[in-house]
Amino acid sequence: MKKTDEEVVQVLQELTEFVNDRVKGYEHAANETKNPGHISFYRELASQSRKFADELNKEISTFGGNPETDTTIKGKFYRQWMDLKATLTGKDENAIINSNLYGEEWAQKAYDDALASAALPQGLQQIVERQKQASLQACDQLKKMKDS
């Protein structure tokens, strides 16, 4: 694998870990919430995130890398903390929404970091930007849910 290909793979693998965190976070939220509308929304976002991870993993393979199936260490600790918090708060809807907003903020940072990398060719930048915009839309929807 060429040095530039290795850089592309590294950037995409790091981003995919955050996308995998997004999958786990929304699956977790769908299981924790009591609101049927929220369950549907969280499942939709988990499905969207799986598609994003598949798309990124396809590109990783194209550049000679191994698909990324893991999540970030930070994400693992955060989900454990949220489990504990849910036990203490009784799975409060606002707490679930806030944890999803926090996760989306981290996803935005991961997308920004990937886009700031000089390693990504134009076509990959477009894929990452499209996914970032979808994450922003999720953030907006979560904020509306929080305000209602």
More confident residue, 146 or 1: 146
CA 54 to CA 135: how far, in whole Å? 16
What is the per-residue pLDDT across 71-106, written as a single tens digit (0 to 9) for each?
777 766 666 666 666 666 666 888 889 889 988 998
Amino acid at 9: V
> How many Cα neighbours within 13 Å face the side chain of 99?
28
The mean pLDDT of 20-49, rounded to a whole number, is 94
Query: Which domains does the chain possess?
Result: 3-147 (1.20.1260.10)
Q: How large a percentage of the chain has pLDDT more than 90?
A: 68
Q: Which two tokens stand for residue 94?
A: 């606002």
How far apart are alpha carbons 16 and 101 in whole angstroms? 18
Average pLDDT, the chain: 89
